[in-house]
């Protein structure tokens, strides 16, 4: 919970201070990079950490992530220019790439499926607190001209989280796993391909025209690197990103849903505060409260998601959640220049409530399909998809906004073009929400998590699933077996 709080607080506190940061350091058009490079570093490192966690153990990798996040926070707070702040966000993102997925993997190791339905309430409370504290502190620090404290506030939290992890979490591992090889070539190709893709999306139409030679060159390079990555992953014995996992219907559906969730959440988190401040004329503090409705609705519903999927199944729960997301997204299209900030908050709350009922069951279903030696990779794949969705969403929405806004001498957006850009963002989010609803329809229809490859190995059908009470591959359930045992 303490480690999760690092990522939760950071994801909710920076958005409300983004306008103040741009006004202080300049370069409003580079603002999407504050989010994209963080999410890119997180996305690229997540599958690597997931694989390393299965090989080297969860504890040491989580400590590395907390340390990197702490270093990145210190550097962000000391940044004297936008390029320096962007580089510091890369370090922070590399830490976040380990913190969130490994924390969730440890939870999956320790608790059975029924127990996870309860512990989700504890984890959701972290996001619930962050959803209120983060935007409020972000708006407050922004309003008093002390935005650097949105990063420095992470320092004591990271230290306490690291100390608690060292003292409370004990992991027994099979030393033979240290001899497994790591697919560094695949990791390099993945990092290069996704970096080139995001660079093309962010700078296209801004630094150069979409049909310029530079744009074609970057997208071709991205395609070549990503194709090479797929070829390598299909050939190596121990891939950094196991494409075979995506052959399982439950993992594939969960991954697609997670990708779309990332696009929607980061699009709203980035541009709702800008809409509230620069279109409606609200203060940074009020804009923070509007965004808090999104991040508050999520943990409230997530805390109850366990009861829903235990009773109704993963698919029904996710369909209900995705429908709420779609309703809230469609309502944002009605927002205009003189809309009430309370309407913004209400629509965001509906979307957040839907996200909580969608994100939790899709991830738990995928985790429940994996053994201990796969669970880190499965969780990493899910988190990778969400991070990539967030990064691509910021890049695409940033390109749309930058193509329509006009900046004054101070580098601040102004004019009717900003409202047009915000409307286009809301329309795009509503369209993407439709895809989310379709994706979750492919989750298992009954109250069990598809066992996928595990079942196939046993000679069962591809969609065979263990009963909810089976507690697949948790640390406690398998004590005394050949799998590593974790305890707290």
For residues 22 and 347, the answer to whether their CB atoms sit within 8 Å is no
CATH number for 2-182+238-467 (one of 3.30.465.10, 1.20.1250.20, 1.10.3720.10, 3.30.450.20): it is 1.20.1250.20
Residue 467 phi, psi dihedral angles, 5° rounding: -65, 155
- Give the SS3 label for residue 111: coil
Tokens coding 98? 């380990």
Tokens coding 306? 């366990």
For residues 217 and 328, the answer to whether their CB atoms sit within 8 Å is no
Task: Name the more confident of 306 and 462.
Answer: 306
HEC string for 35-60: HHHHHHHHHHHHHHHHHHHHHHCHHH
* Confidence tier at 437 by pLDDT (50, 70, 90): very high
The rounded distance, in Å, linking the Cα atoms of 373 and 430 is 38
Helix 417-440 with 341-367: angle, nearest 10 deg? 30
Task: Name the more confident of 366 and 375.
Answer: 366
For residues 296 and 352, the answer to whether their CB atoms sit within 8 Å is yes
* Confidence tier at 406 by pLDDT (50, 70, 90): low
Task: Report which listed range, 201-205, 238-242, 331-335, is most confident.
Answer: 331-335
Residue 337 scores a pLDDT above 70: yes
Helix 18-25 with 82-110: angle, nearest 10 deg? 150
The rounded distance, in Å, linking the Cα atoms of 85 and 102 is 26
Reference 164, options 156, 153, 172, 154; nearest CA is 156
Residue with tokens 């040491």: 60
- Condensed to tens digits (0 to 9), the pLDDT of residues 58-104 reads 888 889 999 999 998 998 888 777 888 888 888 998 898 888 878 87
The arithmetic mean of pLDDT across residues 332-356, rounded, is 89
* Confidence tier at 331 by pLDDT (50, 70, 90): very high
- Condensed to tens digits (0 to 9), the pLDDT of residues 297-326 reads 877 887 777 788 878 888 888 899 999 999
- Condensed to tens digits (0 to 9), the pLDDT of residues 126-178 reads 776 776 777 778 777 777 777 788 888 889 989 999 999 888 887 765 555 55
Helix 58-78 with 31-56: angle, nearest 10 deg? 160
Domains of the chain, by residue range, sit at: 2-182+238-467, 183-237
Return the number of other C-beta atoms located less than 10 Å from residue 459's C-beta: 7
Compute the mean pLDDT over every residue in the chain, rounded to the nearest whole number.
76
């Amino acid at each position: 919970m303490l480690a999760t709080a690092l990522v939760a607080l950071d994801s909710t506190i920076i958005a409300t201070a983004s306008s103040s940061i741009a006004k202080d350091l300049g370069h409003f058009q580079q603002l999407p990079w504050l989010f994209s490079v963080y999410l890119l570093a997180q996305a690229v490192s997540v599958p690597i950490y997931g694989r390393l966690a299965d090989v080297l153990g969860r504890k040491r990798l989580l400590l590395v992530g907390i340390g990197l996040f702490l270093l990145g926070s210190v550097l962000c707070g000391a940044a004297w220019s936008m390029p320096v702040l962007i580089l510091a966000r890369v370090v922070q993102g590399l830490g976040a790439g380990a913190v969130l997925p490994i924390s969730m993997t440890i939870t999956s190791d320790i608790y059975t499926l029924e127990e996870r339905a309860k512990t989700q309430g504890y984890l959701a409370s972290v996001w619930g607190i962050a959803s209120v504290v983060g935007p409020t502190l972000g708006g407050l620090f922004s309003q008093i001209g002390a935005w650097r404290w949105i990063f420095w506030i992470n320092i004591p939290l990271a230290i306490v989280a690291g100390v608690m992890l060292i003292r409370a979490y004990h992991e027994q591992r099979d030393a033979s796993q240290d001899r497994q090889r790591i697919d560094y070539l695949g990791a390099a190709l993945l990092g290069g391909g996704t970096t080139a893709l995001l660079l093309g999306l962010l700078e296209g139409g801004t630094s150069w025209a979409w049909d310029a030679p530079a744009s074609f060159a970057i997208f071709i390079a991205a395609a070549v690197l990503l194709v090479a990555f797929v070829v390598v992953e299909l050939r190596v014995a121990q891939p950094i990103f196991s494409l075979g996992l995506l052959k399982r219907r439950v993992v594939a559906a969960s991954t697609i849903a997670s990708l779309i969730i990332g696009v929607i959440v980061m699009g709203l988190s980035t541009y709702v505060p800008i809409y509230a401040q620069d279109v409606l004329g609200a203060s940074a503090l009020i804009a923070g409260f509007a965004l808090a409705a999104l991040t508050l609705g999520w943990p409230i519903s997530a805390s109850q998601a366990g009861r829903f999927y235990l009773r109704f199944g993963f698919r029904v729960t996710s369909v209900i959640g995705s429908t709420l997301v779609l309703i809230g997204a469609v309502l944002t299209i009605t927002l205009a220049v003189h809309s009430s900030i309370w309407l913004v908050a209400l629509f965001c709350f509906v979307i957040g409530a839907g996200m909580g009922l969608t994100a939790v069951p899709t991830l738990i279903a995928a985790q429940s399909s994996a053994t201990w030696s796969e669970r880190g990779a499965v969780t990493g794949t899910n988190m990778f998809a969400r991070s990539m969705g967030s990064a691509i969403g910021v890049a695409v929405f940033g390109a749309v906004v930058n193509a329509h806004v006009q900046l004054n001498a101070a580098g601040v957006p102004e004019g009717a073009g900003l409202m047009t850009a915000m409307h286009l963002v809301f329309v795009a989010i509503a369209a993407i929400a439709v895809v989310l609803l379709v994706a979750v329809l492919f989750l298992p229809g009954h109250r069990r998590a598809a066992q996928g490859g595990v079942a196939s190995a046993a000679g069962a059908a591809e969609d065979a699933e263990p009963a909810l009470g089976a507690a697949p591959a948790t640390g406690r359930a398998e004590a005394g077996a050949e799998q590593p045992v974790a305890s707290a």
